[in-house]
Structure 1
């Protein structure tokens, strides 16, 4: 009895252990590809459950079995075992309406004609038909595929289709090319394509027929789209050896494993779906007299719906830009999430309060700055407005309107007249009358070097105050001097009357004045006697023109070496007629009332205050003595003795010792006759009584004669030689 009891217990224990082992094996199968011997990738291709690599527990059934083969090059390639086709990609259903099924991309066969050199002409090389039929096959050829034919004069047909005959035909005629409306699809020129039947066939063959001509032709099924712009030569397609084809897959609900082994979501039965929770959904489908199910993870979940717990919540908060800046994201079930503002610590709240105060202060400062800016702008505007009004006032007071009228009425037949400059123009020309631009200063004003907008270099004379009662005469003088056009007189280019004191603009003479050149010992080479005599002739000619040849006689009143400028060729230019001072008009002459310079001043004018043309002659005589002696009009030694250069020269002439005071730089030259002739003329010009002095015309003629006489003598000597 005990033996029987013992045997019974052993039998029961064996049955229980057998059940547990089978249940464990079944659980492993139910959980899918979970054994340690199952590989999940092959050749870089991911293989998800129900597909698998390895033992029989790694995949649902043989239709989902994947074999990982090793090629001769050492790489691994996945193959679907039942249809012996290389796998390119495997994807699970995504739940979309247009693709409620899974997708497997495979390398399909390619049919060619006359593409191999080893084949005879007209021989077609055709691989076996694409066939995914068989009992329990979950695969079908999707309607996303097309039949594509490439090559000239090619007719491609699909075989093994019961319902109809489908195909397309190509041509390479240029006339057809010119009729192409678009290059987006293959519609006959060089390539063609056509859709496959919509009833999801499981077997399709491809055949090629030639209409005319010869050459390589290929035809194949593929899910890719081709157009004339991206189609290459048929030989290149033939060299590839395959075309990518899209297969759909599903679960046959009649499959015993599908019925007996719940996969993922298939736990709870509804009218048209099986589901266990809201993580995934298995949808119903029917075609080719077969019902099927396909499962997918719902929105907000990701993973494999065919594994227990395979659909996990997606972290929606990791998606970029889910919540606005300053908020935090919190995941909820499925695709739900919430955005909440970040809690602020007390310190930050205090800081925020301080920031409000700071913002108020900043706003106040900005408002104050704006107010200051407005006040400053108003100040600048008012000052500019006052400057304009003051300029107009000065222009009117200084006789601007009268000068304009004078220049207009006297401009008949004159090529270039003086113009009226604005103060803005002259400030820009002289860098706002910078001290760096000062050329010289004198009793009548300051002269600046400037450059006009047209590039001309000018001398700008800023005069001293002018008597308003004499402004009429000043305007007349400016208008008159503007008409003077003599090569040895500095040209008056114009004036500015917008300032308190009129500003005169002259042409710029670059080589300085005669005084500087004459009394500079380093300039011996340039200041020869010939140059000095030519300068004297040119000065006399200019003064003669002013006294007699001009429209009205004009007296210079301040002839001196510093008022005689020299250009780059040492040509003399008489300048500074004193027009910045007040002027007066007597009964016969227009003269300039400018106090003379000691050493050059006519003693008769000094005693009588009557300035005549002979007063200019006296001053010119002093300049002649300077040219002969090289001495200054006033010398410290002579000043202590109460004598100037003129008195010293007259005494030397009277005592017949003029050779003792001749400049050593010209004393050794062989033109002493000219020097003595000029000295004699200078003696006449320095006569104490004006009526005994020659006028400037006589002086000019005499100097021309002295200069030409020696030139004639030189010519005579050359002829004798």
Structure 2
């Protein structure tokens, strides 16, 4: 009799399981006669629909099934869709590749196309976390942009010599480069260019490629494949570009029964998913799971009973415990032991709890500080300090309490400036010193190295025209740097944002600032124990103290170099307008790259104009290129600042202008060193008139015969800026607005 009852119960459960599986398997298709569920090999679940034979949620989810080929294809415009995922809210589609091939002389041997994708007004986006712009080639400039011109960005892939080989396991920058997409991107154009007309590069890699590929992209497989015309991209979709309602129980458009609304990871809208204890297609409605039928997934050692969205499990009579975890029988010894433990706890509880509380609090505080110290690069800083012992002054480690008190707990009224990497606060130490406290933003691995790099480099520098690092604090959630306070802002503000109550920037001040900055850079390049290249010289990184003396700041992107060593990078860093064109093309940073950036600052001091000019003509947007052009055309005095024209002597202006011209030479080898620039500018400031010209001619620093006649050599700076239409942004640890 018992066996018959058990058999009937087993059969009943089996029928329930089969019915629930049938409901789940059919829930992917919208109910209705004649509904088509597939297009070729691609299954099309609701809320999507095919042609007129399947009802979609709305017109945004209406897809086309192209039958022009023998095997039907699911398409969105020119994109072929291979996969639709309800769980991930994504679809995988094929996107065309931009490519060109050359012979060894730079002649193009294949056609070139500029593919684009336009998703329209649907609530779809190109995934910014799963897709990357990838450029492959040895002389390749690839960039992408919105067709309406709202943004342009890209990267450069170069091969430096015959031994350079493409790393087929990753995109390291040699032979290949990658960048992420911006958020909220619905349309995209791909453009492919050659930096040096592909001359002498065909023997390394004869073809260039620019493609948009998702996280499954493999360089080796792509290069080995016969068909390189397309790659897979990931498109993310949402039901609507809105947030979920505040009330979790309210009805949400597009979501079926027993579902929950959740905001998508790309932050552009919401999707639907089944609530816990339910399964199926959330856009049609989810059905209850009978947990009692799956003993491996849902543990129960007692009496299992299915409920809507969950289940209960009671221990059998004579046993105790939680049935979902395990049931145990009652034992006398267990009861006695429990009573003893309870009495002991009641007696020792007050004392034990107090001591335990103090111990845990102290331990957590210590552990938290240790975690912050490690996360903020403390171990790396300790390693750098030990490896450079003797070259680095001892850096003071401030406590978090010291800096909280100094900045009035980081009051917003104490903010001096904010940049891409953090915020600078004004503070007063207990000894009365006024300081600037730099508080970094969230710490990523790359930012930690940059932060420690700035600490190590500034600790090596002892120069009156370089901002002095007083110490740092690593026991807080974000790392902190403490500098001497520089009260009068940046040179950029004094040149381009002059107010009526500010001291006018005279010619003597301009010349003195140029001498001080060039002297500091000369010290960094040739007099420091280890040559240091700043890599982001600009007027915004030159601060002015209470006596308007110049001080160089922001060493977050700087690097130390061995003697006669150049720095090969896979990612060009710097600020557009100050960036050395030779460094941009070759990715090799030398001391002459700092010379070029300083030359741009000299032109700012002479003309009072910004490094990127707001003009319609493309070739005149670069201040450096425009300055060289006006010198070639004998129009130097037409572009000088009014204060310079009023105060400066003609010979002084011509001499400084020629120093700037030589510093901006496109050939880095023909530029002077910072030491030569510093000596020449110091000589100009110390002497006046013909004596200056005579002394400078003797040391052959400037071609004054050409200077008097305003005859200068030709320059191709303008052509360089015309060939590049996207920006390369430097990302220093903190842009200066002191």
After TM superposition, the score normalised by the length of structure 2 is 0.42
Q: Which of structures 1 and 2 has the larger relative contact order (alpha carbons within 8 angstroms, sep 6+)?
A: 2
Q: Which has the larger radius of gyration?
A: 1
After TM superposition, the score normalised by the length of structure 1 is 0.42
